[in-house]
Chain A
Amino acid sequence: MSFYDSSTQHVESSLMRESLMDKNVIARTEGQVVPILPDVNIIQIGGRSIMDRGRSALLPLLEEVVANQSQHQMIIGVGAGIRSRHIFSVGLDLGLPTGALATLSAKDSAQNAYMVSCLLAKHGFVYLEAPFVVQLLPAMLAAARGAVFNGIPPYALWEHPPLVGKLPPHGSDAGSYLVAEVFGARSMIYLKDVDGIYSTDPKTDPAAEFIPEIRAQELIDKRLPTLPIEPAALDLLTRAKLMSHFRVINGLTSGNLSRALAGESIGTLVRQ
Chain B
Amino acid sequence: MRRHPMKNTIENENSLLTGLGKQLLSGSLSDAHVQQATEDTPNFTILPWVNVVKIGGQSIMDRGRSAVYPLVEEIVANLGKHKMILGTGAGTRARHIYSLAIDLGLPTGVLTVLGTAVAWQNAQMLHYLLAQYGIPFIEPEGFGTLPHYLMERGAVVCQGMPPYKLWEPNPATGRIPPQRTDTGCFLVAEVFGARKMIYVKDEDGLYTADPKKDSTAEYIPRIGVKELLALDLEDLIVERAVLEFMARARNIREIQFVNGLKPGQLTAALNGEPVGTIVYKDGDAR
Contact = CB atoms under 8 A, between A and B. Distances in A.
Binding site of A, secondary structure by majority: helix, strand, loop or mixed?
A: loop
Contact of A239 (B166, B169, B236): B169
Interface of A: 6-16, 18-24, 26-34, 36, 52-54, 82-83, 85-86, 88-90, 92-100, 130, 133-134, 153-167, 171, 175, 178-179, 181-184, 201, 225-227, 230-231, 236, 239-242
Nearest to A157: B191
Contact of A181 (B25, B107, B248): B107
A176 B30 CA distance: 17
Given A165-B36, A166-B39, A178-B169, A154 B107 contact: no
Contacts of B238: 21
B237 interface: yes
A152 B37 CA distance: 23
Interface in B104-160: 104-110, 113, 140, 143
A30 B174 contact: yes
Contacts of B107: 33-34, 36, 181-182, 184, 241-242
A19 B188 contact: no
Interface residues of B, number: 89
A37 to B, nearest CB: 11
Contacts of B173: 23, 26-27, 30
Interface in B159-173: 162-173
Contacts of A26: 171, 173-174, 176
Interface in B232-252: 234-240, 245, 248-251
Contacts of B271: none
Contacts of B140: 156-158
A260 B202 CA distance: 54
B62 A10 contact: yes
Contact of A182 (B110, B190, B212, B236): B110
Given A154-B164, A166-B38, 10 more contacts: A93-B21, A95-B44, A97-B251, A133-B166, A160-B187, A178-B167, A178-B168, A181-B170, A182-B108, A183-B166
B283 interface: no
24 contacts: A7-B67, A9-B63, A13-B92, A14-B99, A20-B95, A34-B105, A85-B29, A88-B29, A93-B18, A97-B190, A97-B251, A99-B187, A100-B46, A154-B163, A155-B163, A158-B164, A158-B184, A159-B187, A160-B187, A179-B167, A182-B109, A182-B110, A239-B172, A241-B107
Given A89-B17, A95-B44, A178-B169, A22 B28 contact: no
Contacts of B92: 8-11, 13, 16
Contacts of B105: 31-34
A29 B8 contact: no
B96 A162 contact: no
A180 to B, nearest CB: 11
A163 B246 CA distance: 11
B181 to A, nearest CB: 10
Nearest to A154: B163
Given A9-B63, A240-B170, A161 B165 contact: no
Contacts of A242: 107
A8 to B, nearest CB: 5
A157 B175 contact: no
A23 B234 contact: yes
A158 B163 contact: yes
B215 interface: no
Contact of A241 (B44, B103, B170): B170
A20 B8 contact: no
B59 to A, nearest CB: 8
B32 interface: yes
Contacts of A167: 29, 34-35, 38
B35 A11 contact: no
Given A82-B8, A230-B30, A96 B44 contact: yes
B38 to A, nearest CB: 4
A162 B163 CA distance: 18
A47 to B, nearest CB: 10
Contact of B170 (A97, A175, A236): A236
Interface in B12-28: 17-18, 20-21, 24-25, 28
A33 B163 CA distance: 22
A54 B63 CA distance: 58
Contacts of B21: 85-86, 89-90, 93
A114 to B, nearest CB: 17
A134 B35 CA distance: 32
A83 B8 CA distance: 10
A160 B248 CA distance: 10
Contacts of A153: 164, 167
Contact of A226 (B24, B31, B169, B236): B31
A76 B256 CA distance: 43
A178 B109 CA distance: 8
Which has the most chain B C-beta neighbours within 10 Å: A24, A158, A183, A231? A158
